[in-house]
Structure 1
Amino acid sequence: MNSNDILQSLPSYSPYIPWLLGGAWIGDRLVTLARSIPEQVLRQAEAPIIEWQGPGGGLTQPVPPGRRLWVPSLNAALWVYAAHTAGGEAIWGALLWACLASSLLLLALTDWDTTMLPDRVVLPLGLAGLGASYAGLTQQSLIGSAASSAVMLGLLGGIGWVYKSIKGESGMGGGDLKLLAALAAWWGVLGVLYVVAGAGIVTVVWYVVWRQFKNFSPEAEWPFGPAIVVAALVWAL
């Protein structure tokens, strides 16, 4: 492709420039929010910050410099993809799905650093799914969306209770359960079951590779949320 071809193709890409810039700016804000939100939650609960430590090192460690680059880039790409797949006449639907992707990315960062999935992010995500279903932006009705969340909450909660009764420890945290119930409001029970299956594979591979090549503190817990987010984004795409 020569320079003339590039110049002629620029007008076709111009509608995506606001999405690219907006996604990059929001992505940069996500890096900050991933630290400030859990810190606020823990301070309000008067909980020790040092004890909430994931593979990312917790809130006492500085933000990795590379995060300021790859998070805005990834978020911008997700926003452009949302705009491209939705088409020009469905701008509000595209914006809603872009915000869904950003919320998931925020939760992944937070969980990776602190093993926490804050209710103040997860619950609005579920409410947005109900609103999207009411507006006809998902493949479920509002009643179907609410029922899917309830079924997922009961199903995984029951499995978790049985697992804890047998093993004496929780197999899935409450934040993970709430996140999957919130996603059920968007994609239904079947969609979330695919997400759970994919997340299980992702987290096992991720854990093995991370332990092989990275130092992992014995005090740190391994979060399931980032794997859920990866599987959810793949499912959405």
Structure 2
Amino acid sequence: MNISNVFHLLSAHWPWGLSGALAGIWLVPLARTIPQYVLHSARAPREEWLGPGGGLEQPVPRARRIWLPAVNAMLWVYIASTTGNPAFWNTLTTAAVSSLLVLLALIDWDTTLLPDWIVLPLGIAGLVGSYAGFTPHNLPAGAASAVVVMGLLGGLSRVFKRIRGESGIGGGDIKLLAGLATWWGVVSILHVVLLASVMTVVWYLLWLRFKGMNRQAEWPFGPAIVIAALAWCL
């Protein structure tokens, strides 16, 4: 896509771009407020939940306040330019899901948390969307997709834990993938898992090589899942 096409999309769908930018501005504080609330409710020490983003003790990077609204705006514009009829509701639904995924990626990057009270409603919304015709499949297929993904990845995680003594994938990641399966089905999610796995390995090695990481920090899988899901399914 060249520059002229980008300007054409922005001019043709500027209300969605503006709305996406405003939503992106709100995502910045939400990515800190939500995990703070979750950890406070669980009486968990904030300093122990540390991802590559530095945890909740570090200030929000200034660059995030710029690139996040811009990325969210471009997501909404792209979705508006590709969504079929009924255009408004399909666009609004897909755009909202995309922004929620971006929010989860930020939270996971900073804290390695994927809060249930965002992930679970995302899956419920996928079932509602399946019933309303916003997804490629019907409600029974959407529910079955979530069950298959949950069972398959949960089973593999248990086997891996018995062999290696640690889980190969976190419970929050499995719930997120099961929730995404209600929107896009089993086959798409398996492609997402494969793409995210490769991306995570490459990302991790590059990050260690050029940025380094706190020894107490853990590497999250959620951001790669989100990027792979948006790239594959949108």
TM-score, with normalisation over the residues of structure 1?
Answer: 0.93
Partner of 1:229: 226
Partner of 2:147: 150
- Alignment equivalent of 2:18, drawn from 13, 18, 21: 21
Q: Structure 1: which 5+ runs fail to align? A: 1-8
Do structure 1's residue 181 and structure 2's residue 185 form an aligned pair?
no
Partner of 1:4: none
* 1:91 alignment partner AA: F
Superposed counterparts of 1:69-108, under 5 Å:
69-86=66-83, 89-108=86-105
3-state SS of the aligned residue for 1:170?
coil
Do structure 1's residue 161 and structure 2's residue 148 form an aligned pair?
no
Q: Offset at 1:13?
A: 5.7
Q: What per-residue deviation string (whole Å, max 9, x for no partner) do you get for residues 29-63 of structure 1?
A: 11111100000000000000000000000000000
Q: Offset at 1:17?
A: 1.6
Q: Offset at 1:89?
A: 4.4
Partner of 1:123: 120
3-state SS of the aligned residue for 1:57?
coil
- What is the aligned residue count? 229
Give 1 or 2 for the bigger CA radius of gyration. 1
Superposed counterparts of 1:21-60, under 5 Å:
21-60=18-57
Q: Offset at 1:82?
A: 1.0
Segment of structure 1 superposing worse, 204-213 or 79-88: 79-88
CA distance in 1, matches of 2:151, 2:216: 31
Partner of 1:170: 167
Q: Structure 2: which 5+ runs fail to align? A: 1-6
Partner of 1:209: 206
Computed over aligned residues only, the root mean square deviation of the Cα atoms, in angstroms, reads: 1.6
CA distance in 2, matches of 1:236, 1:127: 18
Regions of 4+ moved over 4 Å:
12-15
* 1:212 alignment partner AA: R
CA distance in 1, matches of 2:184, 2:85: 23
Identity of aligned pairs, percent?
58
Aligned 8 A contact 2:188 2:233 in 1: no
CA distance in 2, matches of 1:150, 1:189: 9
Partner of 1:136: 133
CA distance in 1, matches of 2:103, 2:166: 27
